[in-house]
Amino acid sequence: MPERLKHLSWRDIVFVALPSLLLAVGAFWLAAQFIKPAPPAQFIVSTGGEGGAYQLFAARYKDVLARHEIALVEKPSAGSIENLKRLRDPAFAVDAAFIQGGTARPGENDELVSLGDFYHEPLWIFGREAALRGGDKILDLKGKRVAVGGAGSGTQHLAMELLAANGIDAKNTKLIEEGGLDLVERLQKNEIDAVFVVGPTQSSLVWSLLYTPGVRLMSLAHAEAYTRRFPYLARLVLPRGAIDLTQEIPPRDIQLVSPMTTLLVREDTHPALVGLLMQVASEVHGEPGVFQKPGEFPRVGHSDFTQSKEAARYYTSGKPFLQRYMPFWAATLIDRMVVMLVPLLAVLFPLFKFAPQLYGWRVRSRIYRRYGELKFLENEVNENPAAHTRAEWLEKLDRIESDASHIRTPLTFSDMLYTLRVHIDLVRDMILRRTPG
């Protein structure tokens, strides 16, 4: 064993180190209570029907998330209404879902938050030219055969609200619960007269109907009135030729109404994944379009649902600092480590400062204890030197000296120990002078 280690008091080291270790472990445990585990490697989204916009956007999300080594799992559904039911069902494995504005209200026990407005999702009413005969009012559909979207879809929810506002119901009009690309063929075969579709221009059904001969897009004469009656709707104008300038589609300006689409997530969804999803949404929905300017979406929403804290942070500050310079997995790892290290450093820094002082106090206290014994002995000799024989006085002094010589003292405190020995010799000289031989 090195010589310098022989002078260390392992008892004192343990006395100081053990509480320090317990404090560090306590700080580590406390930090662990506030840190989430690493983000999962997959993200589950409830989308919509086959060929719909929700599936289209989910496919684009999937490509972007794959660059960050996150796998998106898509779960098709009937639409917005079914998506909301899935989110509210704790037994259903889903992290997020597309929700059409106006189709959902927060429930009493909801633990769902909104990520904001992602894009306009206009209502398109297509009909056979022979059936509509130039009509631009929903009331013109009364008595016709009208497809209002599949059960559980946001399309059906909005269609039924607008039809009811015009006094149209199943008693005076044949309402068909159906959606999807099959409607194009049914229109052409004269099996239905009109179709309600909710979705962006990228929707395959909308795109197909815009180019279908003999099918006309209705311009809503009461568009502004609908926005006043249903606050979640906005009035949009599809300019003449905006879809196709060469074929002049549409042939005139078209007035539409549109809800907003949002993404609802469960409140316990990993915040790192929510932050990443906001970046993905900015890339996918931030592009210019017929109804939006570049970078207009996503944006702070006006949903009845509480806005996600992570989304609010993204709208305020943008991409997290570390993710601007390093991969997602590395940035999240460092973020988690920082959460762990901050409380540890808060404890260890004072420990590094005060632990040596505590150790020094322990060493000095043993030396001071011998000084106390020495002073007490000196006072006894001065007050009554005849109380003991010289040999007895010297024996007491030798015990003090023996105890002092066995004190394990680091080199830093050696001067105190040598000074104690000098003072012991001084008391010895006094005993020899004051007591008879």
Q: Is there a contact between 265 and 112 (Cβ–Cβ < 8 Å)?
A: yes
Q: Between β-strands 194-198 and 145-147, what pairing exists: parallel, antiparallel or unpaired?
A: parallel
pLDDT in tens, 280-339: 999 999 999 999 999 999 999 878 899 999 999 999 998 887 788 888 777 776 776 666
Q: Which of 275, 119, 126 is nearest to 186 (CA)?
A: 126
The size of the chain, in residues, is: 437
d(CA 406, CA 394): 18
Type of residue numbered 98 = F
The residue behind tokens 């962006």 is: 200
pLDDT in tens, 254-274: 999 999 999 999 998 988 899
252: domain CATH number?
3.40.190.10
Per-residue three-class SS string for 142-211: CCCEEECCCCCCHHHHHHHHHHHHCCCCCCCCEEECCCCCHHHHHHHCCCCCEEEEECCCCCHHHHHHHC
d(CA 193, CA 2): 98
Please give the distance of CA 286 from its chain centroid, rounded to a whole number: 21
pLDDT level of residue 415 (50, 70, 90 thresholds): confident
pLDDT on residue 27: 63
Asked whether residue 362 is assigned to any structural domain, the reply reads yes
Q: Is there a contact between 217 and 187 (Cβ–Cβ < 8 Å)?
A: no
d(CA 427, CA 405): 16
Give phi and psi for 29, each to the nearest 5: -65, -45
Query: Count of CB atoms within 10 A of residue 388's CB?
Result: 16
Residues in CB range of 178: below 8 A, 6 or more apart: 147, 149, 150, 186
Copy the structure tokens of residue 113.
Answer: 């938050």
Asked whether residue 328 is assigned to any structural domain, the reply reads no
Tell me: do 80 and 187 sit in the same domain.
no
Tell me: do 81 and 40 sit in the same domain.
yes
pLDDT on residue 109: 82
**Domain final position from 258, 279, 311:** 258
pLDDT on residue 215: 94
pLDDT in tens, 135-163: 899 999 999 999 999 998 999 999 999 99
Tell me: do 51 and 166 sit in the same domain.
no
For CA atoms 179, 184, 185, 186, give the dihedral sign. positive
**Domain final position from 243, 258, 273:** 258
d(CA 324, CA 395): 77
Tell me: do 280 and 231 sit in the same domain.
no
Taking residues 408-418, report their average pLDDT: 75
Q: Between β-strands 174-176 and 145-147, what pairing exists: parallel, antiparallel or unpaired?
A: parallel
Structural domain including 422 reads 3-27+340-434
Tell me: do 142 and 250 sit in the same domain.
yes
Q: Coil, strand, or helix at residue 319?
A: coil
Rg (CA), the chain: 41
Query: Count of CB atoms within 10 A of residue 399's CB?
Result: 12
pLDDT on residue 178: 92
Tell me how far CA of residue 274 lies from CA of 115, 199, 297, 306, in angstroms. Answer: 8, 24, 16, 14
**Domain final position from 213, 237, 258:** 258
pTM over 0.85: no
Tell me: do 95 and 146 sit in the same domain.
no
